[in-house]
């Protein structure tokens, strides 16, 4: 026996608009949807820390007043982990296999009223043996900082790190916990 489905009648104006919209050619409908719906900025961030999570790699980028993390926007159709690996290599010279970039917990952090979403990954590297190479143009400086004494950082970086119990805003997020181990 199948359950009965009750349907509400849509208001007359809504039915009219729907009829007109669905009678338009598909490319035109797609364009209207893209104009009318919100857009999101998607990026990837890498938390590069030592095995004991006592040091964090941070970058100083133009305009160079505060520190941030290896990160960047995703290219069209690029998977978040691939974007994380690409940005990490571009900004620090550190090469990582995709399998080494583990999702942080939480893996996605939403900023600025839901319009900007960062996919966050973890990478374990030894500060003593990891060579970091910056280009001086996109990244001015890179340094390992003690996780319990991080430098002055951008507001977005501080908010992101608070989700992992790090940085100056860590105490303001009661749900914060350190990045999970694999």
Q: What is the DSSP string of 65-109?
A: SSEE-SEEEPPTT--HHHHHHHHHHHHH-----GGG-EEEEEEEE
Q: Which of 119, 124, 95, 100 is nearest to 108 (CA)?
A: 119
- Does residue 182 surpass a pLDDT of 60? no
Q: Is 0.85 topped by the overall pTM? A: no
- State percent of the chain over pLDDT 70: 88
Element (H, E) at 141: strand 141-146
- Does residue 173 surpass a pLDDT of 50? no
97-108: pLDDT as tens digits: 999 999 999 999
In order of their start, the domains of the chain are 41-172 (3.90.79.10)
Return the pLDDT at 167. 93
- Work out the average pLDDT over 8-24: 78
- Does residue 15 surpass a pLDDT of 90? no
Return the pLDDT at 5. 61
């Amino acid at each position: 026996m199948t359950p009965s489905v009750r349907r509400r009648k849509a208001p007359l104006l809504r039915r009219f608009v729907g009829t007109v919209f669905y009678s338009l050619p598909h490319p035109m409908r797609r364009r209207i949807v893209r104009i009318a719906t919100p857009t999101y900025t998607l990026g990837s961030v890498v938390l590069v820390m030592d095995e004991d999570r006592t040091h964090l790699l941070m970058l100083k980028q133009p305009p160079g007043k505060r520190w941030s993390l290896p990160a960047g926007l995703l290219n069209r159709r690029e998977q978040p982990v691939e974007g994380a690996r690409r940005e990490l290599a571009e900004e620090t010279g550190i090469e990582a296999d995709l399998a080494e970039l583990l999702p942080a917990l939480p893996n996605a952090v939403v900023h600025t009223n839901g319009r900007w979403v960062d996919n966050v990954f973890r990478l374990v590297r030894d500060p003593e043996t990891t060579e970091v190479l910056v280009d001086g143009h996109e990244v001015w400086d890179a340094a390992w900082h003690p996780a319990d004494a991080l430098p002055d950082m951008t507001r977005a970086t501080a908010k992101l790190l608070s989700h992992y119990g790090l940085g100056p805003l860590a105490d303001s997020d009661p749900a914060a916990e350190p990045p999970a181990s694999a």
